[in-house]
Structure 1
Amino acid sequence: MASVLRAVFGYAFLVFMVRVVGRRPGKQMTPFEFVLIFFIGGLTLTFVVGDEASFTNAIGQIMTIAILHYLIAWARTKSSAFARLTDGTPLVLLEKGQWRPLAMKGMRIADDDVMASARDKELKSFDEIEYAILERNGEISIIKASEML
Structure 2
Amino acid sequence: MENVFVIIGRVLILYAVIFIIFRLMGKREIGELSVLDLVVFIMMGEMAVIAIEQHEDPLAHTIIPMVTLMLIQLGLAVISLKSRKFRRLMDGKPTLIINKGKVDEKEMKKIRYNFDDLLMQLRQKDITNIGDVEFAILETSGELSVIKKDKKTKTGSYTIPLILNGKIQTEHLDEVNKDESWLRKELERRGHQDIEQISFCSFQDGKFFIDYDDLKS
TM-score with structure 2 length normalisation? 0.43
**Who is 2:69 aligned against?**
65
Contact 2:135/2:156 (8 A) holds in 1: no
Aligned residues: 110
Contact 1:93/1:101 (8 A) holds in 2: yes
**Who is 2:122 aligned against?**
118
**Structure 2 gap ranges (5+):** 1-29, 32-37, 158-217
Output the CA distance in 2 between the equivalents of 1:59 and 1:127: 53
For 1:104, which of 101, 105, 108 is the aligned residue? 108
Output the CA distance in 1 between the equivalents of 2:70 and 2:118: 35
**Who is 1:56 aligned against?**
60
Q: Which residue identity does 2:109 align to in structure 1?
A: K
Q: Which residue identity does 1:84 align to in structure 2?
A: R
For 1:138, which of 137, 142, 160 is the aligned residue? 142
**Who is 1:148 aligned against?**
156
Q: Which residue identity does 1:117 align to in structure 2?
A: Q
Contact 1:118/1:129 (8 A) holds in 2: no
Deviation at 1:105, TM superposition (A): 2.2
Q: Deviations over 1:14-40 (max 9, x none)?
A: xxxxxxxxxxx96xxxxxxxxxx89xx
Q: Deviations over 1:74-126 (max 9, x none)?
A: 11111111111111111101213332223212322222222223223332211
Q: Which has the higher helix share?
A: 1
Output the CA distance in 1 between the equivalents of 2:58 and 2:107: 46
Output the CA distance in 1 between the equivalents of 2:95 and 2:75: 26
Q: Percent identity?
A: 29
Contact 1:114/1:132 (8 A) holds in 2: no
Output the CA distance in 2 between the equivalents of 1:148 and 1:136: 22
Q: Which has the higher strand share?
A: 2
Deviation at 1:62, TM superposition (A): 0.7
